[in-house]
Structure 1
Amino acid sequence: MSATLLIKNALTVRGDGSEPETGSVLVDTEAGTISACGKSAGDGTFVYDAGGAYLFPAFTDIACRFSDPAHAQRDSIATASAAAVGGGFLNLACLPHQSGEPVTLRPASTPCRILPVIPVSDPSGIDAEKPAVYTDIPSPVTDPGKLKSIMLACRASDSLFIPACLDRGLASDGVMRGGRTAKLLGLAAIPESAFLLPLVTALILSAETGCRIHIPAVSDAESVSLVRQAKSRGVPVTCGTSPLYFSMTDNDVFYYGGSAKVIPPLGTRRDRESVCEALSDGTIDCISSLHTPLTKPENCQELKKCLFGASGFDTAFSASVTYLLKKNIVTPDRLAALLAVNPAKITGRKAGITPGAPADLVIADTDAETVVSSNTMKSKSVNTPYLGMTLTGCVKAVFSGGVRVF
């Protein structure tokens, strides 16, 4: 007889539009799948009492970065994986290194599943026989004709393409989004055209080719509007955002300096409100951490010299609870869809809490408060504007295939 795990007294959130249900989930730990769920799921060899906490499907991150091996001083595979798992993320679609190499490592010491995102600069780099996830990050393809050829090849292989949506020539040496704060700080601005022009190009080419595309970091009102319109026309586009874009504005760069210097840059209050609305109405499909660890020397200096990026694995869930769930912008079910169900579906994986589904599960307390500090973060890098803030919501336990890994 197979060993089983019974998770009882859990408020189960499926992310499928149903209401949260108090009950139990029975897991076959040998098969790594869910056997039964509901008020009478059965008995288990082992029992975990959730104590009324929420039970979510494990989270999938479509936009994150690992620094190891090139920059292990920022985050090692071990510390980044610990931060991801502690934040509820078991599946990571890691964007390629700056060198252009895809992240494919999966040490035996981490339960994280690395979903390869393959960098491509021309159609010859696409495997016609095998669906995969491709991107032109970190070296955007600027020739629309070549980009169209890449998308046609992706469409032929039923692959997903993640466009960089960044014109480096227009972005130039810009530090933050143009506006009052940029002028006050005397900083070079990144024009909206640097993001909107490549986004429009990607959307048009997706419509023409039928290629599925995913925009990883929608951050402003204009981008939200463009994606919403494209979806209404049947363009096969999905998109995500990061907690910084629904919790902060460009004014926060004044207070948090390099920790708030991200790409895309933080927007205005109107941009933040548009992102929140899009998360609520379904225009934005998922939330990603956009985890980009940096060392203190890289992050704590003159702002124009700081590198772009913020640490995100440790705070993505709690920031989502604090700024979305507690403000009634999303429901618990919608939050599960944004963090778990939708990103898994986009990357071709299954996520859910139903019989037969993988027993990849997260127990979370949405009322617990935590002061973010270097002691509470598992990432080696603490380059986050949330440092010192009190955030609500924390991950209590994580199960991979029914085995507790956090």
Structure 2
Amino acid sequence: MFTITNIKRPGSDRLESVTVENGVIKGWNLPAEGEIIDGKGGTVAPALIELHAHLREPGQTEKEDLASGLAAAAAGGYGTVVSMPNTTPVVDDPATVRSLIEKAEGLGLARLKPAAALTKGQKGEQLAELAFLKDAGAAMFTDDGRTNENARVLCLGLEYARSLGMVVSVHAEDAALRADGVMNEGLVSEELGLPGNPWAAEAARVARDMEIVALTGARLHVQHLSTARALDLVREAKKRGLPVTCEVCPHHLTLTDEALRTFDALYKVAPPLRTQADAEYLLEGLLDGTVDCLATDHAPHTRAEKERDLLDAPFGIAYIELAFPLMWTRFGEQLGLEKLLDLMTAAPARVMGWPEPTLEAGAPADLVVLDLATEREVNPAEFRSKAKFSPWTGERLKGWPLLTVVDGKIAFQRED
């Protein structure tokens, strides 16, 4: 049992306390019991939920592992993380799912909910054993890291997932249109002489997938939307009543293809950083509710990999520790605290069909205490992630987590 004192609920300036016992919120403003933790005037909220992170285990632990990735998540205020299955080997069998869950439970950090591959080996040819994967604890099915090129296989996968009450998430890019593009196709790629990935690669695949959803009635979640046109297609699908959701990543809101003028592979991501107009349109999608939630697509690589030539370096940015401070600093005024917290807590839960997190007595004690006012400089040397480099190095952000509680246990506490 412990009590967190000197904290404020969102939208209030009143200092309160909350007592946690046996993994749940015992109550508010009770006589302090157990260990007393000073919340330092921070704002308490349900712990954040991440639906799209690459933790690289098994087989790629030089980039990240469960211990470093879930520690980074807890430092970022996340209580639950859905990990992607494009590892070595691919997470496409029940034993691997169970092993990951058991290992994560022993770490005492953020909670892990592994996603499993939709197809065996993520090859897009034959469905994985979806029912057994669900029984083992898989949170969703996805071939993220690869695109689902065979429409028939995706259709069958959606039908099967629907019968199991599961969500399928997709990396929506047409591989042939994307070709060997390393950045957004447009004025900047032309000036730099780099192969481009056109907006149509994303839009064409989203359009196809919406029709498959209409055919099957299955729940489909579109990952990391990056273009205005693709967002419009999702908006149109929702107006048709299709069970479609989508996410946007903070890096597609805060960075553009102009960053690639540095020729720094740190900015090489998939889908690529788009134009300022796309970024502004995505923000409008957050405001009007077309975008369902925020996700990071936390994708760590080694420094040596990201220091390669742009044509050869891997795609991905790792920043799960910065996501809330980045969004709060850049867009807190436009979105407001209530909306931003919803996009990173209750909204991901709604996408998955999970109970929405609350701060009420009796609710699970998954909490984060946020310092919304104090600016801190982004210092990658302090990251819990193994990827200790960042596009936002040196930028001063506010909204840093002070404390993260997961299942009634302290998973992160800022020492300073």
TM-score (norm 2): 0.88
- Tell me if the contact between 1:177 and 1:265 (Cα under 8 Å) persists in the aligned partners: yes
Residue 339 of structure 1 aligns to which amino acid in structure 2?
M
- Tell me if the contact between 1:29 and 1:401 (Cα under 8 Å) persists in the aligned partners: no
Rounded to whole Å, the distance in 1 between the matches of 2:33 and 2:263 is 49
Among 373, 377, 396, the residue aligned to 2:379: 373
Among 11, 27, 33, the residue aligned to 2:24: 33
Among 86, 91, 95, the residue aligned to 2:80: 91
Rounded to whole Å, the distance in 2 between the matches of 1:96 and 1:123 is 14
Query: Residue 112 in 1 paired to residue 110 in 2?
Result: yes
Among 247, 260, 263, the residue aligned to 1:240: 247
Spell out the pairing of 1:346-385 with structure 2 (5 A cutoff). 346-350=351-355, 351-385=357-391
**Which residue does 1:305 correspond to in 2?**
312
Residue 3 of structure 2 aligns to which amino acid in structure 1?
L
Rounded to whole Å, the distance in 2 between the matches of 1:29 and 1:286 is 30
**Which residue does 1:141 correspond to in 2?**
148
Residue 370 of structure 2 aligns to which amino acid in structure 1?
A
* Partner-residue secondary structure (3-state), 2:283: helix
* TM-superposed deviation, 1:383: 4.1
- Tell me if the contact between 1:260 and 1:384 (Cα under 8 Å) persists in the aligned partners: no
- Tell me if the contact between 1:140 and 1:163 (Cα under 8 Å) persists in the aligned partners: yes
- Tell me if the contact between 1:27 and 1:402 (Cα under 8 Å) persists in the aligned partners: no
**Which residue does 1:24 correspond to in 2?**
16
* TM-superposed deviation, 1:64: 0.7
Query: Residue 70 in 1 paired to residue 77 in 2?
Result: no
Rounded to whole Å, the distance in 2 between the matches of 1:136 and 1:109 is 27
* Partner-residue secondary structure (3-state), 1:270: helix
* TM-superposed deviation, 1:240: 1.1
**Which residue does 2:224 correspond to in 1?**
217
Rounded to whole Å, the distance in 1 between the matches of 2:153 and 2:15 is 53
Q: What does the per-residue CA deviation read over 1:186-220, in whole Å, with 9 as the maximum and x for residues that have no partner?
A: 10001222211221122222222221111120112
Task: Indicate the percent of aligned positions where both proteins have the same amino acid.
Answer: 27
* TM-superposed deviation, 1:293: 0.6
Residue 27 of structure 1 aligns to which amino acid in structure 2?
T
Residue 70 of structure 2 aligns to which amino acid in structure 1?
S
5+ residue gaps in structure 1? 14-18
* TM-superposed deviation, 1:11: 2.0
Among 47, 54, 70, the residue aligned to 2:43: 54
Rounded to whole Å, the distance in 2 between the matches of 1:302 and 1:176 is 13
Tell me: CA distance 1:68–1:383, structure 2 relative to 1, closer, same or farther (3 Å). Answer: farther
* TM-superposed deviation, 1:165: 1.1
Among 3, 7, 14, the residue aligned to 2:4: 7
- Tell me if the contact between 2:6 and 2:17 (Cα under 8 Å) persists in the aligned partners: no
* TM-superposed deviation, 1:20: 4.6
Q: What does the per-residue CA deviation read over 1:268-304, in whole Å, with 9 as the maximum and x for residues that have no partner?
A: 1110101111112221121112111111221112211
- Tell me if the contact between 1:9 and 1:24 (Cα under 8 Å) persists in the aligned partners: yes
- Tell me if the contact between 1:24 and 1:41 (Cα under 8 Å) persists in the aligned partners: no
Q: What does the per-residue CA deviation read over 1:316-335, in whole Å, with 9 as the maximum and x for residues that have no partner?
A: 1111111111xx22111111
- Tell me if the contact between 2:20 and 2:27 (Cα under 8 Å) persists in the aligned partners: no
Among 249, 259, 265, the residue aligned to 1:252: 259
5+ residue gaps in structure 2? 120-125
Among 193, 199, 208, the residue aligned to 1:201: 208
RMSD: 2.1
* TM-superposed deviation, 1:256: 6.7
- Tell me if the contact between 1:151 and 1:161 (Cα under 8 Å) persists in the aligned partners: yes
Q: What does the per-residue CA deviation read over 1:244-284, in whole Å, with 9 as the maximum and x for residues that have no partner?
A: 11111110122372111111101111101011111122211
Rounded to whole Å, the distance in 2 between the matches of 1:400 and 1:267 is 35
* TM-superposed deviation, 1:42: 4.9
- Tell me if the contact between 2:67 and 2:107 (Cα under 8 Å) persists in the aligned partners: yes
Rounded to whole Å, the distance in 2 between the matches of 1:381 and 1:365 is 24
